[in-house]
Amino acid sequence: MVAKTSRTRRDASSRVNGMDIPLRNHAERALEDYFASLNGHKPAHLYDLVLREVEEPLFRAVLDYADGNQSHAAVILGINRGTLRKKLRQFGLTE
């Protein structure tokens, strides 16, 4: 059985002040904020950092959107169900 969260279903955009905002814009804004917070320090291994920070919430949100159905979640993510199960274990998203 999969641990579930109670989140509202969303697609690749969200509504802000009545306007649809694409997911890409949220990512760009988050990265701009991250760079601004560095106070002149040079980032390193940013790709790995982004994957670590985004991958778990992505799997959690997709699994919630799929109502815990791993086969459906795997299709949504475009990955093999075995890979999904491995990632769910890695992130502690299984019971």
Instruction: Report in angstroms the alpha-carbon separations of 68 from 1, 65, 73, 79, 92.
Output: 8, 8, 8, 16, 14
d(CA 46, CA 7): 28
Q: Is the entire prediction scored with pTM above 0.75?
A: no
Amino acid, single-letter form, for residue 66: A
Q: Is 71 helix (H, G, I), strand (E, B) or coil?
A: helix
pLDDT, tens only, 24-82:
999 999 999 999 999 999 999 999 999 999 999 999 999 999 999 999 999 999 999 99
DSSP string, 28-52: HHHHHHHHHHTTTPPP-SHHHHHHH
CATH topology of domain 44-95: Arc Repressor Mutant, subunit A (1.10.10)
Compute the distance between CA of residue 62 and CA of residue 6 in angstroms, rounded to an integer: 12
